[in-house]
Structure 1
Amino acid sequence: MTKLLHNDTCPICSREVAAYARQAERAGVALEIDGLDAAADWGLDRDAAARTFRVQQNGRIVEGLDAFRLLWARLPGWRWLARLTGLPGIHWLADRGYRHIAAPALFALHRRRERRAAQRSSR
């Protein structure tokens, strides 16, 4: 069983994970999807869980690009991307792109959504 933890409050992340879920269902791949409410089950708080994508398989938790690669390798329509991003130069570039650009940008948007929600609820 492959299990993922993602920021389900992020519209971009949610759409992407929904696409993975559809592909997994069509391929008969067992996939369990957790959102931020399950962060404590992963040993994390909500902010830590929102910072990066995580996959658990065979008791091992992987995060970031390697988590995506682990998931992609299990999904027929995505295996090519797992192989491509495993190539040394491409892995290095994609990992840094995710870790230093995409993940921080998505987390900043998450924090902004959280602040707006807190402001609305305090009114």
Structure 2
Amino acid sequence: MYFDGSCPLCSLEIGYYASCEGADGLRFVDVSDPDAQLAEGLSQDKAMARFHVQLPDGTLVSGANGFVAVWQALPKWRWLARVAQLPGAVQVMEVAYRMFLPLRPILSRIASRLGAKPKKHSDTTV
């Protein structure tokens, strides 16, 4: 899973996912680290702009589909992955995610003021 570790909000969310049962099967890559190893076809700019997940078969998914892939891997969140399988659910989630993206910098600043911290590059792979 590729995330923006320079974003306090993103780091808070990824830290939560990393603490969940099943997270030991996930790899967390901070794409704000210039030395981060990215999937083939994924640039740092693309990775910084949008959430991406590389599936075990090498397929790269992003946005709502990326979150669904993470939820499928975490037992506590599988119920939400099942909800996402309902007709039209992922499309609605994708629209919501695209609406969130322009707000992310503002929400990240708020999260930072509330104490959320960006990841240190040494903490990038969990």
TM-score of the aligned structures, taking structure 1 as reference length? 0.72
Aligned with residue 22 of structure 2, among 12, 16, 27: 27
If asked which structure has higher relative contact order (CA below 8 Å, sep 6+), I would say: 2
Aligned with residue 11 of structure 2, among 11, 14, 36: 14
Correspondence 1:1-123 to 2 at 5 A: 4-23=1-20, 26-27=21-22, 29-36=24-31, 37=33, 41-42=38-39, 43-45=42-44, 47-57=45-55, 58-99=57-98, 101-106=99-104, 108-109=105-106
Looking at structure 2, the residues matched to 63 and 40 of structure 1 have their Cα atoms a distance apart, in angstroms, of 17
Q: Could you say if the C-alpha distance between residues 10 and 28 of structure 1 is closer, same or farther in structure 2, counting changes exceeding 3 Å?
A: closer
Looking at structure 2, the residues matched to 40 and 27 of structure 1 have their Cα atoms a distance apart, in angstroms, of 23
Bigger radius of gyration: 1
Gaps in structure 2 of 5+ consecutive residues:
110-126
Looking at structure 2, the residues matched to 91 and 29 of structure 1 have their Cα atoms a distance apart, in angstroms, of 25
Shift of residue 88, structure 1, vs aligned partner? 1.8
- SS of alignment partner, residue 27 of structure 2: strand
Preserved contact between residue 29 and residue 74 of structure 1 (Cα < 8 Å): no
- SS of alignment partner, residue 62 of structure 1: strand
Of Structure 1 and Structure 2, which has the larger fraction of its residues in helix? 1
- Over the matched positions of the two proteins, sequence identity in percent amounts to 34
Preserved contact between residue 17 and residue 23 of structure 2 (Cα < 8 Å): no
Shift of residue 31, structure 1, vs aligned partner? 1.3
Question: CA offsets per residue over residues 40-78 of structure 1, 9 Å max, x none?
Answer: 623303x32111111111211110000100110110010
Gaps in structure 1 of 5+ consecutive residues:
113-123
Shift of residue 39, structure 1, vs aligned partner? 5.4
Looking at structure 2, the residues matched to 12 and 50 of structure 1 have their Cα atoms a distance apart, in angstroms, of 13
TM-score of the aligned structures, taking structure 2 as reference length? 0.70
- SS of alignment partner, residue 32 of structure 1: coil
